Structure 1
Amino acid sequence: MRRRLLKAIFFLLLACGLVFLLWRGDGYLLIAYGTKTIEMTLWVAALAAALIYAALWFVRKLMLGSAEMVRRFREIFLFGSVERAQKRAATGMVDYLTGDWLEARKKLVRTLDKVEYPLANYIAAARSSFEMGDEAEADNILDKALTLAHSELPVALTRARLHVQSGRYEKAIEILKPIDIKMPRQAAVLDLMHHIYIAQKNWRALEDMFPVMRKAKVLSNVEFEALEVLLACEKMKAQSEQSKSLLIAERLPALQSLWKSFPRSVQKLPAVITAYAQALTENYQDQEAEVIVRKALSNNWYEPLVSLYGRLQVKEIHGQIRTVEGWLKSKPQDPALLLSMGRLMLRNQQWELAREYFQRSLNQQQSLETMVELARLMEKLGDHKKSADYYQQGLLLAGHNK
């Protein structure tokens, strides 16, 4: 800008000087070359100089603009006008959404520099290339997109999602963590990181991130509750494994300590109670588990807890049987409850009653667990044919449920 101003002042002074000289007298200009001479007044010479300068300026502009003109004409004739490019890009996005990766990439790449807001098209073109197996091209397109984006967030999220899709979770985390530091509480970043941690079973990292996710409102209330249940159950499973290395007398306090650390709202959730009771049974604390399960079922009927109750190895089995008999009065057709009663009768060596309850449970619901229990019972009773039949039915049922 300053240079242009100086040039304008210079030419203005030069013009003023010429006008001043011409005003003082006509004068003339003589140009001699060999035997040829050209003579003219200063006014004509000044006009000729101005015309020559204008002609040179025009030729220069024409030469500089020719490349741009050729490019524009090429775009118009080969790729169409801007309006046509917009339409081509729109159909490319439709191809992308319908999974036609080849057509999507072809249309989107050819129109990337012709649409007003190209970032979405860059990302779609990159994902199309990735889906076609051309990861190098996808990276190249995303690199170009990064130069246009006002924020690196959309491009970084796309790169991370492509790594996740390929199972490269560590690579994705390497991209997302710096973004999370620069732009904390970004819902999209936290959501993707939490899915990665679940896939990696990195419960510690997910637990550390949980309060931040809640503040950022990354998930709905229902999804947060499900995640809270998952974290509590996984912590209990981990504690159960750790407790197995302790003395029997030390195991119950260790499990109870973790249980008491959970909020009251979490302690009331049936899935978490089931995980706690399961951990107790795995560490030979069935008597404590029986109390927990019985109280939980009196407040909230939950099938996994019902099934677990029949597997508890408590000393006073008759008390267990009386409890289940009481439940059966109000729920005589419950398949899980009938299965649990059959297991209790099996432990009490009442084989025919156990068979009856197993059969009643099977009549209510075809269950692999019940099939296996009946097969084992028939084998114990010496009826190997029926045992084999039940095992065969169990295998068929397992194959059908896959």
Structure 2
Amino acid sequence: MRLLLKILLVLAIAVAVVTLFGEGPGYVLVQVGEWTLETTATLGLIVLVLVWALGWEVWSLLITAWHMPGRLAGVRDRRRRRRSLELLERGLLALEGGDAGQAQRHLARGARLAQAPAAFHLEAARAAHLAGAKAKAEEYLDQAQQTVAGDDPAVTLLRAEIEMGAGRAEHALALLSDLENQDADNPRLLKRLLVLYRRVADWDALMRLLPRARKAGVVTPEEADSELTLARGRRMEEARLADEGEIVERLWKEAGRDERGDPRIAVPWVRYLLARDRVDDARKALEQGLGRSWGGELVDLYLALPEAQASPQELLRRLERWRNDHPRDPHLLTVLAQLAISAQFWGKADQYLAEAGAQSDLPPQILLRLAHLYQAREKPDQALTFCQRGLAALGGEQAPELPPPGPEASGYSVE
């Protein structure tokens, strides 16, 4: 089409020239050696234009031929890129569908076609790991390491993820700890570190990491506050069991007012106070904790107070005031039943046991506590029933032998 337009243009110019020089055409003389060429100016101009047009076409053909290898290479590259993206899509879909072997094959083929194969190698390593091909997974990771930028954490993050999946949390933590020093605010890194610190129960590290994770948007403010409270409480319990009183007291002082009312913080604090024979402080902490936030585990700790054995009837009277606000709380009902047994108020004890036992979806510890309390009431059939239910809730198959009934059956240990 372009050539036809050029020919028409040349003809139009020729017609214009003929019209212009029709009356006085003039002539053109060209002499080269012994050769002489003479023609009219009109025809000479037409020939010159035709020669110019032909030369332009020849030049264009030469330029096209010169660039042809590059254009062919570009076509091949586009086809390879399109094919690699198709294989990436197939591989990811197969991986999501659970066919790790097929995903690995698609991704490995795509990596050979792709100009930037790092993503293919990483996903192929993930697929190989899921398929159980550990050597292949390591090979793909090494290939990915060679193609990514030197400071890109993607390979290390995937290595850590594979270690986590294999149950080697300590190895994964070692990898990510080194990476944390290089890229401390990477959201993906922070997310994996949170999972690892929970798994290995490193509560100090979790408390240190949560503010940064919150700032990076990895967790919401509500999730960060809840996890911080949980981590603080677990660390306090660890320190209490290890007789590290300074740590327990420091963590309690660092806790905010709302945190101190949370049973996850208040319970280990009260246990610590009771273990140190600071009964008055423990009693005060119990009252304040329950006043801020009701928690069954806090109610359980009343059984560790000296008055639970010395004057159970008085403590029973004090705790019964909460029945109106918490009539179905299984912790409160079993504590009242235990105190009633210690005070030998058999009617009340049976009433509280019946109210607690009639509820559905009781936690295993409550079911097992009911078993011991029914044994203390010398009712072995009910004791065995609740013991079996408790073991079933815990995944057990056989009921343990219950201790002999007696006053010690209703005791409570801070541990």
Report the TM-score, using the length of structure 1 for normalisation: 0.69
Is 1:356–2:355 an aligned residue pair?
no
Deviation at 1:223?
2.1
Deviation readout 1:176-203 (Å, 9 max, x if unpaired): 2332222232222222123222222222
Deviation readout 1:1-58 (Å, 9 max, x if unpaired): xxxxxxxxxxxxxxxxxxxxxxxxxxxxxxxxxxxxxxxxxxxxxxxxxxxxxxxxxx
Deviation at 1:304?
2.8
Shift in CA distance, 110/283, structure 1 to aligned 2, threshold 3 Å: same
Distance 2:173 2:369 in 1: 46
Deviation at 1:144?
1.6
- Give the letter aligned to residue 158 of structure 1: L
Deviation at 1:280?
3.1
1:342 to 337, 340, 359: 337
Distance 1:241 1:155 in 2: 40
Deviation at 1:383?
4.1
Identity value in percent: 23
Deviation readout 1:132-191 (Å, 9 max, x if unpaired): 222221121122222222342111111111112112233323332332222232222222
The 5-angstrom pairing of residues 86-97 of structure 1 reads 86-97=85-96
**Residue matched to 2:10:** none
Aligned length: 323
The 5-angstrom pairing of residues 104-253 of structure 1 reads 104-115=103-114, 117-150=116-149, 151-243=151-243
Distance 1:338 1:274 in 2: 19
Distance 1:376 1:269 in 2: 29
Distance 1:297 1:276 in 2: 13
Shift in CA distance, 289/347, structure 1 to aligned 2, threshold 3 Å: farther
Deviation at 1:378?
4.2
Is 1:376–2:372 an aligned residue pair?
yes
Unaligned runs of 5+ in 1: 1-64, 245-250
Distance 1:176 1:333 in 2: 47
Distance 2:304 2:133 in 1: 54
Distance 1:399 1:213 in 2: 36
Runs of 4+ in 1 over 6 A off after TM superposition: none
Distance 1:143 1:258 in 2: 44
Q: Which has the higher helix share?
A: 1
The 5-angstrom pairing of residues 292-371 of structure 1 reads 292-310=285-303, 312-314=305-307, 317-365=312-360, 367=362, 368-371=364-367
**Residue matched to 2:61:** none
RMSD (Å), alpha carbons = 3.4
Deviation at 1:395?
3.5
**Residue matched to 1:260:** 253
Report the TM-score, using the length of structure 2 for normalisation: 0.67
Deviation at 1:329?
2.8
Deviation readout 1:239-290 (Å, 9 max, x if unpaired): 312338xxxxxx7x98555422323342233321123223334444454333
Deviation at 1:366?
5.4
Is 1:83–2:82 an aligned residue pair?
yes
Distance 2:83 2:239 in 1: 63
Contact 1:123 1:155 in 2 (8 A): yes
Deviation at 1:81?
5.6
Deviation at 1:100?
0.6
**Residue matched to 1:42:** none
Contact 1:88 1:108 in 2 (8 A): yes
Is 1:391–2:390 an aligned residue pair?
no
**Residue matched to 2:266:** 273
Deviation at 1:310?
4.7
Contact 1:355 1:374 in 2 (8 A): no
